[in-house]
Amino acid sequence: PEAVNAPIICNPNPFSSTTTISFSRKLNSHELSQIKIYNVRGQLVNTLAAFPNGGLETSNVVWDGKDENGNEVKSGVYFYKLDTKNDTFINKLILLK
């Protein structure tokens, strides 16, 4: 996938139960995009998939504050990362319980 403008937004942020990560990108085919969530130690917490329909679109991915095993993570600072063909975009999000 290739980012267009690369706006990647997390709302609400801070959040207490769920947050939506939105980003725009242009795709040549029906490729899968992934948002990866990391803790402050750089450890992977969860991988969220966004399925495109091809073309320019905005994808919305919801994170429920859980790790890949379905366990709730602790309150704190996390980072969400979108890797594209040409760039990497990273932003911070805060989970407050």
Residue spans of the domains in the chain: they are 2-95
Q: What is the pLDDT of residues 23-51, one digit of tens each?
A: 876 655 455 678 899 999 999 999 997 65
Residue 14's pLDDT is 97
* Radius of gyration for the alpha carbons in the chain, expressed in angstroms and rounded: 13
Instruction: Please report which confidence band the pLDDT of residue 57 belongs to, taking 50, 70 and 90 as the band edges.
Output: low
Question: How confident is the model over 61-91, as pLDDT tens digits?
Answer: 899 999 999 999 999 999 999 876 667 888 9
Longest dimension (CA), the chain: 40
* 2-95 is classed CATH 2.60.40.3080: yes
pTM of the model: 0.81
